Structure 1
Amino acid sequence: MYYQFVSVTGRIMGKGIPAKHWETIARKGFQLVYGSTANLFVDRLGNYIGYGPEARELVGIPDVETFCVLPWDRKTARVFCTLFRGREEEVDGGAFLTSDCRGNLKRIHDEFTEDTGLHLRAGTEPEMMWLKTNPDGTPSVEGKTKPYCYHIDQFSELQPIIHKVMEYGTAMGLDMIQGDHEDAPGQLELNFMFDKAELTADRLTTYRQICRQVGREMDAFACFMPKPFMGVSANGCHHNISLWQGDENMFMPDGDDPRVPGKIGLHAIGGVLEHLRALTCITSPTVNSYRRFADAGFWAPIFADWGFQNRTTALRISAPGRYEYRSVDSAVNPYLSFAALLMAMKDGLSRNLDPGPPEERNIYDAIAEGKDVQRIPETLGEALEALEADDVVKAALPGDMYRVFMHYKTDEWKRFIGTVSDWDVNEYLDILP
């Protein structure tokens, strides 16, 4: 049995325990070091990220409703867990562990619903690339198909992989609804049905786990790196967002224009645009994420505006009743992104923020004609500064989570700027005389 939880970067962590101990673990939980919520990685100075070796141990309690037998290994099952502080701790013993991104999302969503009467339903568009493997089994940087967007022939090249992903996804509760070949080598998008935010986050995590297993079986590498190739599209993970009151979609238009959401939708969009720069740090969370924005000719959303079916803006009304948040990529931790979007939308609702009229023009043309539009950060370092300055989005990272996230991502950024790359060598090795 895999007792699993999700780290600050979206990795699946946990323990494997023989099934005969299920009743004991379900009642008492398992223990693991706090630092596992930060992948148990060390920073550039050799310090453990988030928690040192002297830190206490967390307790993971399984959420029994998430129990699922793995369809590729019927002798093994998985269950997601909620994390707590150790019961014997002097301060907050037995309390929720605030570096548990999955538990945080549940609590933030519950508070949002209590305050607004609304809940978030979300769907994701998990683009990724299927790469060839080298003779030694390591991944190459070569896609298994040609970069032809929406071509059924290229989709068919990946059909054996697609069938296996759908077989496993269906067995693990994903309602697979559609898919297509995107416009990078080996790039595939397979979609499953939207649902409440925390369920969609669990399913995206499950989908990634499935893809990695299918890659093992099919001699392919499932790549979720945002931008492994320049000159072709990156791997996005657009979030399709709506707010509901019971079974009523409150994003539906309430006027004569079917392209414009109702007041709740407009204020929610206003909140997201208000906080987009800080949100980008969470939804585009790696150094590599910003290569996607630099290669802006490939529909990368870099301006804080919105419009109906307008792919040049950061937010797009993709259909009446929902909007597509586009400044998010395949490396996103969905528990963090949904929590952050909830906080931004809550701010928009409480302050009645007006997003302005929808932009119908290509945003680049609009800017050329004089429109003043805020740009999202150009680097992870700039995004970290935006997050530090935004108390609303920071509130989506409560307690230890903000400290752990900032330690991890600041170290990532500083390791990058402290690295001499191939570009540096090629550009400057023969710089003088």
Structure 2
Amino acid sequence: MTVETALDRYVHDPERVATVEKVHKMLDELGVTYLYFQVVSVTGRVVGKGVPAAHWRRVAMSGVQMVLGATANVAVSRTGRYLGYGPEASELIAIPDPETFVQLPWDGRAARVFCTLFTDRGDDQDPGAFLDTDCRGNLRHEQERFRAAHGLELRCGIEPEMMWLELDESGRPTGGATNPYCYHIEQFEQLRPVYMQVLDYCDAMGLDVIQGDHEDAPGQLELNVMFDDALRTADRLTTYRQICAQVAREHRLKACFMAKPFPGVSGSGWHHNVSLWAGGEDVTYQPRGGVKGSDDVYRYRVGGDNVFLQEPDSTGPGTVGMQCIAGAVAHLPALTAIAASTVNSYKRLWDTGFWAPIYADWGYQNRTCALRVPAPGRLEYRPADAMVNPYLMMSGLLRAFDDGIGRGLDPGEPEKRSVYSAIESGKVVERLPMNLGDALDALEADPVIRAALRGHLYDVYTDIKRDEWERFLATVTEWDVETYMDFVP
């Protein structure tokens, strides 16, 4: 007797089948002839395959196959070993999520869909199961788990700082396209052709950009998108990176998401502004040029009860909000391994003169703390930078909040002083891990946050990141040469 698998149930869900048919009609209406089947790796990289639109119906039901190592960027370690999965591992099945279908505004012949990943149908151990190294699927699982436990959903808005760099004749970045003047309209105006193109593409692909500014590093912009359900926000920020990369190609610039490309000026943070809600409904965002994708691409979650809001007799967040803050404080060291995910990330944290969030404390409007309550009803998680995988980050925050609520934790009084001044006055505050190796050790020692990277996801993520750390330690840098070459001990 044939056993129905999770893959079978997912593919043949009646609502999904109906959406597949809607997309089929849109392909002809929009003139789309090619589709990217997109998969997000554990580091946040977009990988996948291309499929001619003529094969949409068939491939929407069968999916595409890729090596399991696609979730680990199909990369090898410094010793030549394949990271995450070896070449002998079976393949994954990527099933397109038709609700994420949208035409690419820079070439209407092409469109994209995100995919949910499954084990191979012929897998010996668990055929057709949800693949645990699918970071999108992992966030969906964590959302469902949290909703079942608390009746609440996470909504998130991310502040996506990044830099626009000029290129030399060989195509290598030379420096920022503008000067490092924060909020300076003249610098913002210099990048108007760039950000206007970004805004047009964002609008077409369902990103409702609500404000923007020039930040305080060379060529650094921040364009904020309306907050929403965690998974849709993560998909939109992944799309935002792709949009910026395309606009950079059109303007012969480099869209730089490196956390700290320049010393002596601010790095690029991706602060996560989070809140928990009960209830609410979806409303539709209407793009100026007309709908170019599935309905869900243009939907945002609004309304309901925000349980982060202060209670009538309190000046701070409500009880649940305070417990979530406490949970985040308790797990900040482990969360740092996800938030500051590269060797370079810690250059940003070491440059403390630029509001680097390096202390495990919280406060109102206090940018020296890792956690800040910037306005009623939300919490700003500050250590994340522009290289973060938002799917993993929000999965980790959900686990930290769950722990804070479950144990009824109390974060203590908010710090009103600069944390640096408070420490000078004798306050003992834990410092975040200050290099990738220490952060990975903190993650390994924290079973709560480890559980947010369920199954093999933790193993694959840390395999990649341990290798990155070891590569750095084994690399002779220009600093080494300049510092030690002329020494005679």
Paired residues in the alignment total: 431
Q: CA–CA distance in 2 between the matches of 1:300 and 1:333?
A: 19
Deviations 1:43-93 (A, max 9, x none): 001011101111111001011000000000100000000000001111110
Aligned counterpart, 1:143: 176
Matched, 1:199 2:255: no
Aligned counterpart, 2:133: 99
Q: CA–CA distance in 2 between the matches of 1:93 and 1:344?
A: 32
Tell me if the contact between 2:338 and 2:392 (Cα under 8 Å) persists in the aligned partners.
Answer: yes
Q: CA–CA distance in 2 between the matches of 1:257 and 1:108?
A: 30
Matched letter for residue 194 of structure 1: F
Matched, 1:7 2:41: yes
Matched letter for residue 232 of structure 1: V
Q: CA–CA distance in 2 between the matches of 1:412 and 1:74?
A: 38
Matched, 1:425 2:458: no
Q: CA–CA distance in 2 between the matches of 1:31 and 1:139?
A: 35
- What percent identity do the matched residue pairs reach? 58
The offset of 1:257, in angstroms, is 4.1
Aligned counterpart, 1:128: 162
Tell me if the contact between 1:305 and 1:315 (Cα under 8 Å) persists in the aligned partners.
Answer: yes
Aligned counterpart, 2:212: 179
Q: CA–CA distance in 2 between the matches of 1:241 and 1:139?
A: 37
- Note the 1:378-393 alignment, pairs <5 A: 378-393=434-449
Aligned counterpart, 1:262: 318
Matched, 1:223 2:279: no
Q: Helix, strand or coil: the match of 1:88?
A: coil
Q: CA–CA distance in 1 between the matches of 2:402 and 2:485?
A: 51
Matched, 1:330 2:386: yes
The offset of 1:237, in angstroms, is 0.2
Tell me if the contact between 1:264 and 1:349 (Cα under 8 Å) persists in the aligned partners.
Answer: yes
Tell me if the contact between 1:131 and 1:139 (Cα under 8 Å) persists in the aligned partners.
Answer: no
Tell me if the contact between 2:168 and 2:174 (Cα under 8 Å) persists in the aligned partners.
Answer: no
The offset of 1:333, in angstroms, is 0.2
TM value normalised by structure 2: 0.87
Q: CA–CA distance in 2 between the matches of 1:287 and 1:293?
A: 11
Q: CA–CA distance in 2 between the matches of 1:141 and 1:28?
A: 46
Q: Helix, strand or coil: the match of 2:379?
A: strand
Q: Helix, strand or coil: the match of 1:17?
A: strand
Aligned counterpart, 2:222: 189
The offset of 1:25, in angstroms, is 1.0
Aligned counterpart, 1:415: 471
Partner residue of 2:275 out of 238, 242, 251: 242
Deviations 1:175-209 (A, max 9, x none): 01000001110001001100010010000000000
The offset of 1:139, in angstroms, is 3.1
Q: CA–CA distance in 2 between the matches of 1:226 and 1:97?
A: 30
Q: CA–CA distance in 1 between the matches of 2:216 and 2:111?
A: 36
TM value normalised by structure 1: 0.99
Tell me if the contact between 1:367 and 1:373 (Cα under 8 Å) persists in the aligned partners.
Answer: yes
Aligned counterpart, 1:16: 50
Q: CA–CA distance in 2 between the matches of 1:126 and 1:68?
A: 22
Aligned counterpart, 2:243: 210
Q: Helix, strand or coil: the match of 1:132?
A: strand
Q: CA–CA distance in 2 between the matches of 1:305 and 1:257?
A: 20
Deviations 1:222-258 (A, max 9, x none): 0000000010000000000101111100000004444
Structure 1: runs of 5 or more not aligned: none
Tell me if the contact between 1:126 and 1:237 (Cα under 8 Å) persists in the aligned partners.
Answer: yes
Partner residue of 1:25 out of 56, 59, 64: 59
Q: CA–CA distance in 1 between the matches of 2:79 and 2:103?
A: 41
Matched letter for residue 85 of structure 1: T
Matched, 1:87 2:121: yes
Matched letter for residue 184 of structure 2: H
Tell me if the contact between 2:325 and 2:404 (Cα under 8 Å) persists in the aligned partners.
Answer: yes
Tell me if the contact between 1:141 and 1:228 (Cα under 8 Å) persists in the aligned partners.
Answer: no
Q: CA–CA distance in 1 between the matches of 2:396 and 2:342?
A: 17
Q: CA–CA distance in 1 between the matches of 2:159 and 2:39?
A: 22
Matched letter for residue 102 of structure 1: R
RMSD: 0.7
Structure 2: runs of 5 or more not aligned: 1-34, 280-303
Tell me if the contact between 1:35 and 1:52 (Cα under 8 Å) persists in the aligned partners.
Answer: yes
Partner residue of 2:81 out of 47, 55, 65: 47
Structure 1 residues 141 and 228: CA distance shift in structure 2, 3 A? farther
Matched, 1:253 2:310: yes
Matched letter for residue 325 of structure 1: Y
